[in-house]
Amino acid sequence: MKVDKTVKAEGARGQAVDKKEEKYERKELKNLDTLTSGDLVEVELTIDSKNDYEYILFEDMKAAGFEPVSVQSGYGDNEMGAYMELRDERVAFFVRALARGQHSISYRLRAEIPGKFSALPTRASAMYAPELKANSDEIKLKIQDAE
């Protein structure tokens, strides 16, 4: 949810001026929550690793009705140095080295098409050790038209 926020900044002549800053209030979405078309959603994948791993792929299945805010794949500002690849039905993260402990990677989507949609579980797998796999929970969300 967008929050109005102003901060004091230096003007052209050194005076203090109010400057609007884009801020958002984060709230956790529960299963079957309703969003409005146009709402911004930040998807955060929290990864709990029991060991050190190399060359891990995370594939987050994008729910229909949502479109990514960023339109270009590449290295983002995430703590793991993961390469993010945007595809039609999923967002893939390629991680070269995953240290043990808890980590998170995130990306933003915008709710667009009204309806009921399922975000299928995120899948994790080792690129060179196919026996290593993991997955997350599924969530269902509703999008309604903006009034």
| pLDDT at residue 7 in the model | 65
Report whether pLDDT(110) > 70: yes
Residue 77 pLDDT level (bands cut at 50, 70, 90): confident
| pLDDT at residue 49 in the model | 93
| pLDDT at residue 3 in the model | 58
SS (H, E, C) the chain: CEEEEEEEEECCCCCEEEEEEEEECCCCCCCCCEEECCCEEEEEEEEEECCCEEEEEEEEECCCCEEECCCCCEECCCCCCCEEEECCCEEEEEEEEECCEEEEEEEEEEECCCEEEEECCCEEEECCCCCCEEECCCEEEEEECCC
Answer whether 0.75 is exceeded by the pTM: yes
Domains of the chain: residue spans and CATH: 28-144 (2.60.40.690)
Q: For 126-135, what is each residue's pLDDT tens digit?
A: 999 989 999 9
Residue 65 backbone phi and psi in degrees, to 5? 95, -10
The owner of tokens 């884009």 is 22
Residue 5 pLDDT level (bands cut at 50, 70, 90): low
Cα angle at 64 between 59 and 70, to 5 degrees? 65
